Amino acid sequence: MVAFPAGHDGLGVAQRTLMPWLRSEQQQLPLSFSFSQDRGQRQSAWQEAAAQVWGYLRRGDDVVFASEGDVSFYSTFTYLAQTLLTWHPQVSVEVVPGVCSPLATAAVLGIPLTIQSQRLAVLPALYRVAELERVLDWAEAVVLMKVSSVYPQVWSVLQQRGLLSCSYVVQHVTWPDQLIYTDLQHHPNLELSYFSVMIIQVAANSLG
């Protein structure tokens, strides 16, 4: 059984990625997860997903859960696994490491994410620009995920700090329709998708 997060409208990202490698005899299990701000709704969705997976595990089937990126890095897998293990501690969970989006983004840009003793900050979501201001005061490298909804505000902060030329955005990293934006001085009004990552090199990556 191959499980993955269900898409909200059609195939999800993980399912689309898997399609070329799935065999016809393999069963597929799309699992619905809630992204509501209401914890009760999210927890209910985790429990429903865990119950579906347990239905296959208890009869002796193996279940693989596929997720874009790495399942230990801001992944829905965490909630599924924790719920399953709370209910059924005897379940054996094996985690196979993947490549998370900040590392993939640095790779396609051809830049190191961090070097030497540089401090790295990852902001999975940005609700107040003040949060970014505070992070820029102490981190040498910053990754912003889900940057699309706050891009204009972030651009303004980077302009004020003189960081536009050392900031990068990659949309749909590693996908066929991947887009790369460098030197953001020329891109004040980008309309980005949800799957966009920004890297800010606050300190120059020098080997000295």
- Rounded to whole angstroms, the Cα distance separating 143 from 148 reads 13
Structure confidence at residue 15 (pLDDT) = 84
Which segments of the chain belong to CATH 3.40.1010.10?
A: 2-87
CATH of 2-87, one of 3.40.50.720, 3.10.129.10, 3.40.1010.10, 3.40.50.300: 3.40.1010.10
pLDDT digits (tens, 9 = 90+) for 4-53: 988 777 778 888 888 888 898 889 999 988 777 788 888 999 999 999 99
Structure confidence at residue 56 (pLDDT) = 96
> Residue 151: pLDDT band by 50, 70, 90 thresholds?
very high
CATH of 101-201, one of 3.30.565.10, 3.30.950.10, 3.40.190.10, 3.30.750.200: 3.30.950.10
pTM of the model: 0.88
pLDDT digits (tens, 9 = 90+) for 65-119: 998 899 999 998 999 999 999 999 999 999 999 999 999 999 999 999 999 999 9
Structure confidence at residue 143 (pLDDT) = 98
